[in-house]
Amino acid sequence: MGLLVEVCVLVVISIALRWSVSQNTYSGQSKPPMYGDYEAQRHWMEITLNLPVSDWYRNTTNNDLQYWGLDYPPLTAYHSKICGYIAQYINPDWVRLYKSRGYESYYHKLFMRYTVLVADFLIFLPAAVLFYLAQDQLDDKSMLFGLMVILLYPGLILIDYGHFQYNGISLGLAVLAVACLGSELQMIGAALFTLALNYKQMELYHAMPFFTFLLGKCFKAGPFKGLFELIKIGITVIITFLLCWSPFLTSVESAKQVLTRLFPFNRGLYEDKVASFWCSLSVLIKLKNILSQENLVLLCLSTTLLCLLPSSLHLLYKPTITNFKYALVNSSLVFFLFSFQVHEKSILIPAISVCMLANREPLTSIWFLSISTFSMLPLLVKDGLIIPYIGLSVMFLIACVYISQPFNNQKPDSLSTLKKINVSYSLLFLPFFIPSKQLGNTLIISLADTTHDNRETEWKNPKV
């Protein structure tokens, strides 16, 4: 009973923090003509509600793809349509075709914030709780520590409740899928991950570990039983994909149009100030001036696959749930560092993977999660979220370092190192209060975070 109360308290605290951050500004607030991600999400509700499915991803007179065209998979579109129906019921002006562009009001902001909170209530929060409750081998203290880390991680809260997105849905589905695989529920886990992938294509960052883990489990089961399991999992994935994509499979052209929107290679190697290898390298070498677009894509693909190979082969040979979790971290970081078309917000994918290892690697996890949030600082400053960022980060570190039981087993030198690291990175706030004329803050953040991300990929899988 005591554990249940502590879990409920953690959930309530996480909800309170989320709602407090939601009272701040959002992406593109009062910044016409394009505004920001908040307007993008509102516009998708407008488009999916007022236009036929065949026009959702197609450029038409009623759907200008240059104005926040839908570029996420079908599950995001269906979610937008449901939210659009609710918005229309409350106030039709919020989703009226054309006329609602750039709509801003207190009550509309309240509605949009509630849609994120409801999504977390339904998916992310239950997924996080179930993930740690399902781990029978953990004692109560370790379980509560891990749950605290995943529920209070500042990066996800700031992006979903400050900047404005619905990352909790795809990440929650992925976490729930991992929990199912850890409980030997392979078919349910495969279906849940397929849903996550069909909500946000960035879940491809996790795809290789899911594939190699399930394939490795089938190999270990023996030739006949393993083949039967593989067929069942394959059918589950195919059926889930067909259910999500059925409205867009009426013709090859229709499916191709969706895929073109999901993978827009014409946008470039990376966007904005992202702590990827290619962004850091661009300070010294402008690859886009040397290589063609096709060669850049090929370079990113080959580099990513090469770096994925070690952890994938290890997981295929030893498909344990612990190795699987480490492989999720490695895979997502490799994609973030080396893949094509990376956003700064994509760091949330490796971050949530690290959250799932917090009870096993407490010191390294807290260190990485702090750095991952810091890597998004230019975006947070742009959105006017610097105060919530500092507040959440400080509370998160205090809770993790000084309250959590797992740290009692860490060496004093390790704790001292963590404190020094966080003090050092706090000093990096200075460039944001002293604007530079050229690279300044961008160079510091990109190089620093890329270095830390590369160090993180050096985590070794345990001998299990």
Residue 443 predicted with pLDDT over 50: no
The first and second tokens of residue 379, run together, are 């975006």
Dump strand ranges (E) for 325-378: none
Least confident of 159-168, 236-245, 268-277, 385-394: 268-277
Count helices and strands in the chain by DSSP H and E runs: 22, 0
Residue 194 predicted with pLDDT over 60: yes
Tell me what the mean pLDDT of segment 187-193 comes to.
Answer: 97
CB 338 within 8 A of CB 304: yes
d(CA 51, CA 396) in angstroms, rounded, equals 43
d(CA 33, CA 241) in angstroms, rounded, equals 36
pLDDT score for 343? 85
Q: What is the pLDDT of residues 326-342, one digit of tens each?
A: 999 999 999 999 888 88
pLDDT bucket at 255, cuts 50 / 70 / 90: very high
Least confident of 106-120, 204-218, 226-240, 289-303: 289-303
Percent of the chain scoring above 70 in pLDDT: 84
Q: What is the pLDDT of residues 345-394, one digit of tens each?
A: 999 999 999 999 998 988 889 989 999 999 899 999 999 999 999 999 99
pLDDT score for 14? 96
The pTM of this model reads 0.90
Residue 444 predicted with pLDDT over 60: no
Residue 438 predicted with pLDDT over 90: no
Phi, psi of 270 (to 5 degrees): -155, 170
CB 445 within 8 A of CB 273: yes
Mean pLDDT computed over every residue of the chain: 87
pLDDT score for 289? 78
Q: In whole angstroms, what separates CA 447 from the centre of its chain?
A: 21
Q: Position 52: which residue type?
A: P
pLDDT bucket at 201, cuts 50 / 70 / 90: very high
d(CA 366, CA 401) in angstroms, rounded, equals 9
Residue 69 predicted with pLDDT over 80: yes
Q: What is the pLDDT of residues 404-427, one digit of tens each?
A: 654 455 544 455 555 555 555 554
Question: What does the DSSP 8-state code read for residue 270?
Answer: B
Residue 16 predicted with pLDDT over 70: yes
pLDDT score for 184? 93
Least confident of 146-150, 229-233, 396-400, 422-426: 422-426
Residue 271 predicted with pLDDT over 80: no
pLDDT score for 406? 47
pLDDT score for 41? 98
Tell me what the mean pLDDT of segment 182-209 comes to.
Answer: 97
Residue 11 predicted with pLDDT over 90: yes
pLDDT bucket at 285, cuts 50 / 70 / 90: confident
Q: What is the pLDDT of residues 166-175, one digit of tens each?
A: 999 999 999 9
pLDDT score for 380? 95
Question: What does the DSSP 8-state code read for residue 162?
Answer: I
Phi, psi of 63 (to 5 degrees): -140, 90
pLDDT score for 449? 56
Do you know the residue count of the chain?
464
Q: Which residue has the tokens 């992925």?
A: 174
pLDDT score for 274? 66
Q: Position 344: which residue type?
A: E
